């Protein structure tokens, strides 16, 4: 990682760590207020636990082991608290506050020097002492309720703890039995859950057989201070029945219930009589941690950045209009005033370029935000399918526009799920094939010019071209006589409804959903390619522009219509003699530096009337994404201009080959070409020509 990237990564760590520490502080303050009121909200404890877990993972990812170790111990303490293994005491609360304070000092120190350290021994010892404390004496309260063992035995450790808490507080336990239609159970269950939470605490939700084949049942365990009749009246649903879980008669030695055992009197007294905790870190660092922010980072809603970018876009258009006027005045009136106006517009252009670059920079985020999510997907899906998969991530510091990163999430997730489900063999199959039992998926990102290339590579069984071809013949997509190249066979996988599987599963086979993946990537002006070697694995290559906001465009004209071609897709432009155009398999092509370049006439793509002089002089904009090339044939090349792409909206979203609209100034609106979409359609037409 370069120094710049490293510095950027540290800043991102500081910003996120500071936010987590603030959340931890707020959670502990809230928990402290609850201690005073005598009732601890389990949601508060869970929220603090999650924050401790988050900063542990975050610091571990950036290699700050000291922060990771301390947050790990705090996480253990909070986990014991949420599971009822320990009771919340004021002493524990103080230790947690000290832990957060120490975390803040560590993070603050890393802001100045990433090698900064503190002696964590004292605060770690305090947490360890609490973890070795006595277990909750209310552990056997579950023996005193008349709840079916088949339900009791399937409760999680956390649910058992919440059940004990409700029992110890003398709450009434209700077993709510509900039956819902399979078609709408998710919505009805959510409505019932929300209603029950208003009457008390929902301890557990367990599925059960329904009262008919097309219905599903649920049993919900609720702790409440209300009478059964009150809860029943509040819910008032025919499909829901209520039972009260009675308590067994007390036996000798049973534990009496108390109003609030969460904070014991003895523990309160311990604190009140002077078990004051000294600051274990003060000795190592006499200077108290400053309350000033150490990240110097402001988090901004992406909508606000979009609005700012729109304003910049309008300024860019205004700049273009002013430049045009200044040039006209300079040509017509040769005096000092015209020269001064021209000079001022040049200054405006430089400053506006700086403003545009600055706004663009704050929209850029490292693609690690996306790749980190894929780590969880790989682990979960691999476990679901009994496969062993490691994920190799490289180039995570590569930056992309925030909106592109967000819209890329679903396509990338689908590709990885598909790779694990269909591409990766089981450990037994891999062993018999002479491969390592643990498969590997590589997720690599790199920047190439104005594009970012993302490769998803697996070392699975690869794509069998004969099987894909046979499926395409069975589905009537191609004729049995046609001979396709390997690349053309792979393109079949992107055809709607194509699958290599006979039975559709939840993840399905290679091909299912890939047309949607391709369309989603095309909507980002990107392109996806497949390369696969049977038995060796498959590589999916996604090529995307860095941003879609303000772009430089090549303005072209075809059949009297003006279009914008994103300049980051244009490799070169050519003046074309119509005589050099050849036709191969009904496709127009030219030879360009010893290779064949397929042509696409824009007038034909959009069914426009031909220009009367179209055969006298033609121009070609050679566009390329990834390894593919296409020559777009137009009548005129009008030059380059900055444009701001505006969406056409859902009404016109079906139009192929158009990415949006742009204003050229002087109230002239033109269409912006979707180069990726045009290339896909043109190259797909090559495959379709074989049908």
Which residues are within 8 A (CB) of 7 and not within 5 positions of it... i.e. 6 or more apart? none
Runs of H (alpha helix) within 38-143: 42-61, 65-82, 90-112, 121-131
CA dist., res. 566 & res. 670, Å (int): 13
* Catalytic residue chosen out of the listed positions 23, 418, 520, 568: 418
Angle between helices 42-61 and 3-37 (to 10 degrees): 160
Pairing mode, strands 550-558 and 439-448: unpaired
Q: Residue 3, class by beta-carbon neighbours within 10 Å (0-12 exposed, 13-18 middle, 19+ buried)? A: exposed
Q: Which of 242-246's residues contact partners 24+ apart within 8 Å by CB, and which partners?
A: 242/174, 242/175, 242/176, 242/177, 243/174, 243/175, 243/176, 243/177, 244/172, 244/173, 244/174, 244/175, 245/145, 245/146, 245/147, 245/173, 245/174, 245/175, 245/221, 246/145, 246/146
**H-run or E-run covering 17:** helix 3-37
519 catalytic per annotation = no
Q: Measured over all CA atoms, what is the biggest interatomic distance in the chain, rounded to whole angstroms?
A: 109
Q: What are phi and psi of 659, to 5 degrees?
A: -90, -25
CA dist., res. 475 & res. 501, Å (int): 12
| Half-sphere exposure of residue 452: CA atoms within 13 angstroms, side-chain side | 25
Beta strands per DSSP E along 449-577: 451-458, 527-533, 537-545, 550-558, 561-566, 570-576
Q: What is the separation, in whole angstroms, between the first and last Cα of the chain? A: 49
490 catalytic per annotation = no
Of 583, 582, 585, 581, the closest CA to residue 483 belongs to: 585
**H-run or E-run covering 591:** strand 587-592
* Catalytic residue chosen out of the listed positions 18, 51, 75, 160: 75
Report whether 71 contacts 109 (CB < 8 A).
no
3-state secondary structure of 535: coil
DSSP class of 434: T
**H-run or E-run covering 304:** helix 302-332
* Catalytic residue chosen out of the listed positions 11, 22, 46, 53: 53
Q: Which two tokens stand for residue 317?
A: 């258009």
Of 521, 416, 605, the closest CA to residue 529 belongs to: 521
Q: In what order do the strands lie in the sheet with 240-245?
A: 200-209, 215-224, 172-181, 240-245
CA dist., res. 102 & res. 207, Å (int): 44
CA dist., res. 166 & res. 259, Å (int): 10
Of 524, 570, 550, 555, the closest CA to residue 642 belongs to: 550
**Residue 543: strand pairing partners:** 453, 527
Beta strands per DSSP E along 116-239: 172-181, 200-209, 215-224
53 catalytic per annotation = yes
Which residues are within 8 A (CB) of 395 and not within 5 positions of it... i.e. 6 or more apart? 367, 444, 445, 446
Task: Please list the active-site residues.
Answer: 53, 75, 418
């Amino acid at each position: 990682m370069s120094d710049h990237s490293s510095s950027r990564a540290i800043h991102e760590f500081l910003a996120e760590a500071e936010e987590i520490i603030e959340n931890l502080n707020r959670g502990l303050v809230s928990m402290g207020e609850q201690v005073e009121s005598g009732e601890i909200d389990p949601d508060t404890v869970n929220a603090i636990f999650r924050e401790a877990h988050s900063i542990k993972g975050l610091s571990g990812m950036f290699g700050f082991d000291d922060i990771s170790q301390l947050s790990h111990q705090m996480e253990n303490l909070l986990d014991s608290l949420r599971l009822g293994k320990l009771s919340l005491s004021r002493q524990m609360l103080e230790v947690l506050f000290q832990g957060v304070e120490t975390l803040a000092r560590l993070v603050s120190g890393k802001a100045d020097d990433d090698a900064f350290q503190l002696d964590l021994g004292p605060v770690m010892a305090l947490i360890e002492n609490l973890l070795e404390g006595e277990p909750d004496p209310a552990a056997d309260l579950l023996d005193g309720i008349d709840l079916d063992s088949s339900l009791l035995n399937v409760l999680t450790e956390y649910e058992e703890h919440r059940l004990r808490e409700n029992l110890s507080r003398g709450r009434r336990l209700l077993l709510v039995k509900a039956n819902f239609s399979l078609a709408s159970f998710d919505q009805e269950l959510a409505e019932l859950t929300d209603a029950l939470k208003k009457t008390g605490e929902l301890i557990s939700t367990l599925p059960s057989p329904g009262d008919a084949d097309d219905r599903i049942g649920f049993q919900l365990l609720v702790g409440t201070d209300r009478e059964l009749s009150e809860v029943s009246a509040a819910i008032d649903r025919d499909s829901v029945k209520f039972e009260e879980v009675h308590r067994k008669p007390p036996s000798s030695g049973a534990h009496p219930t108390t109003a609030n055992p969460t904070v014991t009197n003895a523990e309160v007294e311990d604190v009140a009589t002077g078990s004051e905790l000294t600051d274990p870190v003060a000795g190592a660092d006499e200077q108290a941690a400053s309350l000033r922010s150490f990240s110097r980072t402001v988090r901004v809603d992406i909508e606000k950045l979009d609005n700012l970018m729109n304003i910049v876009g309008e300024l860019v258009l205004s700049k273009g209009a002013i430049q045009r006027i200044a040039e006209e005045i300079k040509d017509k009136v040769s005096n000092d005033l015209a020269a001064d106006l021209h000079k001022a517009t040049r200054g405006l252009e430089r400053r506006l370029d700086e403003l545009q670059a600055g706004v663009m920079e704050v929209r850029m985020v490292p693609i690690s935000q996306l790749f980190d999510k894929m780590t969880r997907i790989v682990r979960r899906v691999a476990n679901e399918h009994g496969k062993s998969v490691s994920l190799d991530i490289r180039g995570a510091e590569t930056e992309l526009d925030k909106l592109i990163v967000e819209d890329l999430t679903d396509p990338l997730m689908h590709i990885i799920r598909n790779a694990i489900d269909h591409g990766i063999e089981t450990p037994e199959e891999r062993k018999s094939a002479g491969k390592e039992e643990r498969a590997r998926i590589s997720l690599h990102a790199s920047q190439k010019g104005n594009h970012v290339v993302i490769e998803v590579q697996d070392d699975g069984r690869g794509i069998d071209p004969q099987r894909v071809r046979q499926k395409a013949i069975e589905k009537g997509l191609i004729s049995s006589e046609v001979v396709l190249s390997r690349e053309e066979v792979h393109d079949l996988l992107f055809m709607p409804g194509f699958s290599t599987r006979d039975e559709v599963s939840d993840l399905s086979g290679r091909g299912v959903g890939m047309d949607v993946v391709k369309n989603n990537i095309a909507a980002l002006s990107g392109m996806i390619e497949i390369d696969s070697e049977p038995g060796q694995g498959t590589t999916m290559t996604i090529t995307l522009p860095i941003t879609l906001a303000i772009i430089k465009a090549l303005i072209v004209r075809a059949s009297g219509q003006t279009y914008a071609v994103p300049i980051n897709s244009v490799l070169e432009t050519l003046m074309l003699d119509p005589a050099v155009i050849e036709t191969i398999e009904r496709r127009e092509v030219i030879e360009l530096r010893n290779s064949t370049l397929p042509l696409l006439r824009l007038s034909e793509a959009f069914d426009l009337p031909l220009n009367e002089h179209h055969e006298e002089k033609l121009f070609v904009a050679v566009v390329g994404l990834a390894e593919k090339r296409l020559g777009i044939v137009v009548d005129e090349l009008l030059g380059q201009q900055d444009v701001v792409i505006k969406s056409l909206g859902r009404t016109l979203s079906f139009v192929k080959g158009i990415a949006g609209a742009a204003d050229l100034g002087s109230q002239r609106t033109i269409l912006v070409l979707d180069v990726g979409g045009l290339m896909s359609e043109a190259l797909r037409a090559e495959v379709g020509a074989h049908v």
